[in-house]
Amino acid sequence: MVDLEATYRVHRLWEAADRQELISKVGSNIRAIATRGELGASAELMKQLPKLEIVSCYGVGTDAIDLSYARANGIRVTNTPDVLTEDVADIAIGLLLSTARQIPQADVFVRTGQWGKIPMPLVRRVSGKKVGIVGMGRIGKAIAKRAAAFGCDISYFARNRDQDVAHGYEANLVALANWADFLIVIVPGGAATMKIINAEVLEALGPEGMLINVSRGTTVDEEALIAALQNRTIQAAGLDVFLNEPKIDERFLTLPNVVLQPHHGSGTIETRKAMGQLVRDNLAAHFAGQALPTPVV
Ligand code: 8YV
């Protein structure tokens, strides 16, 4: 923000007590939106900014930006790919280890003085297991690389087989879930992937199966997931993303078999710096009339 303010006149919509009042006051002069992956930019917002030229997104996912409105109205859209790939893959594996080995629960076990009084319950192994990856884009590939280093057998679901990926391809998500011990979700959000992890997929994953979601809350049918965790239709889940973040469904907070993260996959100092730089580089290139470093539209 400080860096943006050095170059631009910045209006902080997210801090405005009355958003509509701010839009009425300055909307007709706004030429750029800087936004975040999970907030995006709706057509409703963009319609109120007649001079809008560019939406620069601090995140790789652009599912919350109305891309068809932007396209139809000559508004450029940029995102921050690549710089966050390794971190999101790290958190996927971190959540997998945390969920299977119950690292957060073991931490509580030590802190609350249970160690030595009762045995720590035995947990589940990760190494050598079957990992199903839902989505084989840049981050999916980085997750596969890490899972392979754990000696895991890997198979993936995607719209199309990727000829550059040597792992098994499964066009049927239920069949992948049935095969896998762990299902890791890393598809883009949006209409095409809405609730693809549904009750049938969870049923197929089974009572020893675990779900890891580092994509978007929208990709999972949360009602079905909560029921599956309550009834032990699946064993456990590790979640970085939810519907209605940060006001997530409170039932998640009471479930012992879920590890929760506050949408923090890209949340390292190193990556957030690089993401911020890319947001500014895209804006600078646009206003200098140069090619955009990472265009989406
Ligand atoms: C967020 C993300 O944008 O890259 C994405 O699509 O969801 C994240 O990196 C980030 O948390 C900033 O809000």
pLDDT in tens, 44-97: 999 999 999 999 999 999 999 999 999 999 999 999 999 999 999 999 999 999
- The answer to whether residues 111 and 248 belong to one domain is yes
Amino acid at residue number 279 = V
- The range of the structural domain enclosing residue 77 comes to 2-83+268-287
Catalytic pick among 216, 222, 280, 286: 216
| 215 contacts 263 by C-beta, under 8 angstroms | no
Q: The domain spanning residue 105 has which CATH number? A: 3.40.50.720
Evaluate whether residue 295 is within a structural domain. Answer: no
Which value does ipTM take for this structure? 0.96
pLDDT score at 289: 98
- The answer to whether residues 150 and 242 belong to one domain is yes
Candidate from 263, 264, 268, 294 with most ligand 1 atoms within 8 A of CB, to mutate: 263
| Calpha distance 89→69 (Å, rounded) | 31
Q: What are the tokens at 121?
A: 């319950």
- The answer to whether residues 130 and 176 belong to one domain is yes
| 281 contacts 292 by C-beta, under 8 angstroms | no
| 222 contacts 247 by C-beta, under 8 angstroms | no
The distance between the two most distant Cα atoms of the chain, rounded to a whole number of Å, is 68
Supply angle C-alpha 99, 259, 245, rounded to 5.
145
263 is catalytic: yes
DSSP structure string for 229-251: HHTTSSSEEEES--TTTTS--TH
| 93 contacts 113 by C-beta, under 8 angstroms | no
Evaluate whether residue 179 is within a structural domain. Answer: yes
- The answer to whether residues 229 and 123 belong to one domain is yes
- The answer to whether residues 94 and 79 belong to one domain is no
Catalytic pick among 167, 263, 280, 286: 263
Evaluate whether residue 96 is within a structural domain. Answer: yes
Evaluate whether residue 293 is within a structural domain. Answer: no
- The answer to whether residues 67 and 201 belong to one domain is no
pLDDT score at 191: 96
pLDDT score at 1: 66
Nearest CA to ligand 1 atom 4: 59
- The answer to whether residues 175 and 99 belong to one domain is yes
- The answer to whether residues 209 and 277 belong to one domain is no
Low-confidence ranges of the chain (pLDDT < 50): none
Evaluate whether residue 128 is within a structural domain. Answer: yes
Candidate from 90, 266, 278 with most ligand 1 atoms within 8 A of CB, to mutate: 266
Evaluate whether residue 296 is within a structural domain. Answer: no
| 163 contacts 156 by C-beta, under 8 angstroms | no
15 is catalytic: no
159 contacts: CB under 8 Å, gap ≥ 6:
none
Domains held by the chain: number: 2
- The answer to whether residues 67 and 157 belong to one domain is no
- The answer to whether residues 105 and 229 belong to one domain is yes
216 is catalytic: yes
| 201 contacts 173 by C-beta, under 8 angstroms | yes
Evaluate whether residue 215 is within a structural domain. Answer: yes
DSSP 5: H
- The answer to whether residues 218 and 129 belong to one domain is yes
- The answer to whether residues 107 and 42 belong to one domain is no
